[in-house]
Chains A and B, each alone.
Chain A
C-alpha cells in the first residue's frame, strides 16, 4: 500500500520555510488561476511557474511523479478522450475516428491542467507537516468566525483526523500482516473472495479505532478540554521577506496569465 500524497518530505528549501498561511493562500490563488487559464499560453506559463516551484522545493521530482500514480488512469483517460473530441482541421482520420488539431490541443490543455493541480497541491503537502497545515487552515479559515462557525473545534477535528492517518495506516499494515500469516489471501481470487478477504481486516480496524476514539475522548475530558475558551498559540507566525517575495512572484505570474488570456 503506497499512498504518498499528503506526506511531508523533509528538506531545507525556501518553499519549506514559507509561512504556512501564505502557502495555503497562494495554493488557492494558483488553483483559481489554473482554472482561469483559457489560452494554451496561459496554461504553459502556469506550468512553467509550477515546475520552477517544484525544482526550488528540493523535493525530488521522482517523489512528485509518485503522487501521480494514484490518478494516472483518470489522467490518461481524460487526455485520450479529448483527442477524439473536437472540431477544426483534421490531422488524421480512420473511418469515423478522426483526430483534429483542436482535439490534440484540447487534450494537452486538459492534461496540463490536471498535472498542474496535482503538482501544486503536492508542493504544499510535501513542504509542510500535517500539523502545520491544519494550524494554517485554522488561521486562514478564522474569518468564518463572523458566521458563528467554531473554527477551533473544526480545526481540532481536522488535526485529530490527520494525526491519526499514519497511526491507522500502521495499524492496517499490522492487521494485514497478522491475517496474511494465517494464510489470508487478498491478492488473488475473484471479486467475491476479495471482498470476503476484507472482513478480517476491517473488523479489527474498526474495533481498535473505536477503542482509540473512546480513549482519546476520555483523556481529553480528563484534561478539561473545551473548544470555547480562546487558546494561545505556541508558535507565532510572522511574515518574512521570503513570504513577500513569494507573493509578488505569484501575483506577477497571475498578471501574465490574465494578459495571455486577453491577448491570445
Chain B
C-alpha cells in the first residue's frame, strides 16, 4: 500500500534568529498509510501541536519535507489552502474558532470556503451530525450557548464536513468524561471507515491510544524517541523509562504475571484481552 503522508527530517524553530529562539521539533520522520491511525504522545510542550500545524501547512518547516500523496505540500505555496482541506486539523481549544450565530453556520464555514454546492453542504452536514451524534435540534442554537464538550464536538463537525483525507485531532478527549471519550473514539473510527481516511490522534492518554492506534509516535523535547505499534512500545521498558510515559495499568499486571512465570501473551492491550488470557490459563473454564 502506498504512503498517503511522508514526513522527512522535519524540524521547526520558533523565532529563528531572535533572542527568543526555541527549537520545537528536531528531525521527525514517519509515514502514514491510507486508513491507518497514528497516535502522537509526549509531555506538555514537547511539540505535538507544532507538528500538527506543520502538517496542516499553518507553519512552514525550518527544515525537512512533508509529502502528501507524493507531492511536497509547499511545492506550490499558492495551493496551500487546498492542502488544508485535505489535512483537516481540529484544534486543542475549540472556543478559538466558533464565531457564527448558529451552530449550523459554524459547521458549514469550512465547506463553504471549499466552494461546495449548497445542497451538497446540507447533505454533508447531516451526515456528520449522524456520525457525531449531534442532535439536529441544536443546529439553530448559538454556539456560545453550548457546553465546552458540545463546542468541541461542533468544532470537530466543522472539520469533518470538509471530508479531509487525513484528520488530525489535537487532544480531543482532554476535557471529556469517560463515556463521551469512548463515544468520541468510536465516532472517529466511524469517520475513518466511512471515508477511508487516515487519522492522527494526539493525546496524553496511552489507554485510549492503545485502543485505536496502529502506530504510536513518541516525542520527547522535540525529538522523536520511537515509532512503533502499541504492543511493542508498551513492553519496551527502556523506552517507557526514557520517555517518562506510562503504559496502561493492565500492561504492568501482564508484566508482573510474566515475571512470576505465567504464560501471558505478548499482545495484551486491554482488560478484555487479559481476562481471556487468564481464563485460558485457568483451563478455559469460563462457566
Contacts and interface: CB of A to CB of B under 8 A. Distances in A.
Interface stretch (B90-98, B226-234, B236-244, B265-273): B90-98
Interface residues of B, number: 25
B53 interface: yes
A183 B85 contact: yes
A183 B93 contact: no
B96 A183 contact: no
Contacts of A185: 81, 113
A178 interface: yes
B28 interface: no
Interface string B85-123: 100110101011111100000000110011000000000
A248 interface: no
Contacts of B85: 183
A9 B19 contact: yes
B159 interface: yes
A183 B112 CA distance: 9
A204 B144 CA distance: 10
A181 B92 CA distance: 13
Question: What is the interface of chain A mostly: helix, strand, loop, or mixed?
Answer: helix
Nearest to B94: A178
How many interface residues does chain A have, given as a range? 20 to 34
Contacts of A171: 96
Interface in B37-85: 53, 56, 58, 81, 84-85
B162 interface: yes
A207 interface: yes
Interface of B: 19, 53, 56, 58, 81, 84-85, 88-89, 91, 93, 95-100, 109-110, 113-114, 144, 158-159, 162
Interface of A: 9-10, 171, 174-175, 177-185, 199-201, 203-204, 207-208
